[in-house]
Amino acid sequence: MSEKDRHVVPQGSDWAVKKPGAERASDILPTQGQAIERAREIAKQTGGEVVIHGRDGKIRDKDSYGHDPLPPRDKKH
């Protein structure tokens, strides 16, 4: 995991955008969709990865942003 990565995690009834290992969230938003969009904005600027967690804490999805000289073939999009 990189400092550039952002995790979208549940926080009470809201959703938080956090760096790996951070105690405090950089953003807290009312919906997961809004938190994902904010995490994507940050990752596009820094070139990191967005890791989306479900309410159960398990990773649901990941998306990378930035320059990758050998990008994987994305089957989702």
- Using alpha carbons only, what angle is made at residue 34 by residues 24 and 22, rounded to the nearest 5 degrees? 15
The predicted structure's pLDDT at residue 1: 60
Confidence band (pLDDT; 50, 70, 90) for 4? Answer: confident
The span from the CA of 9 to the CA of 60, in Å, is: 11
Which residue range(s) make up the domain with 20? 6-64
Task: Say how many domains are in the chain.
Answer: 1
pLDDT (tens digit per residue) in 25-75: 999 999 999 999 999 999 999 888 999 999 999 999 999 887 665 666 666
Helices (H), the chain: 32-46
The predicted structure's pLDDT at residue 12: 96
> Is 76 part of a structural domain of the chain?
no
The predicted structure's pLDDT at residue 66: 73
Q: Say which residue the tokens 């820094």 belong to.
A: 46
The span from the CA of 20 to the CA of 18, in Å, is: 6
> Is 24 part of a structural domain of the chain?
yes
The predicted structure's pLDDT at residue 36: 97
> Is 33 part of a structural domain of the chain?
yes
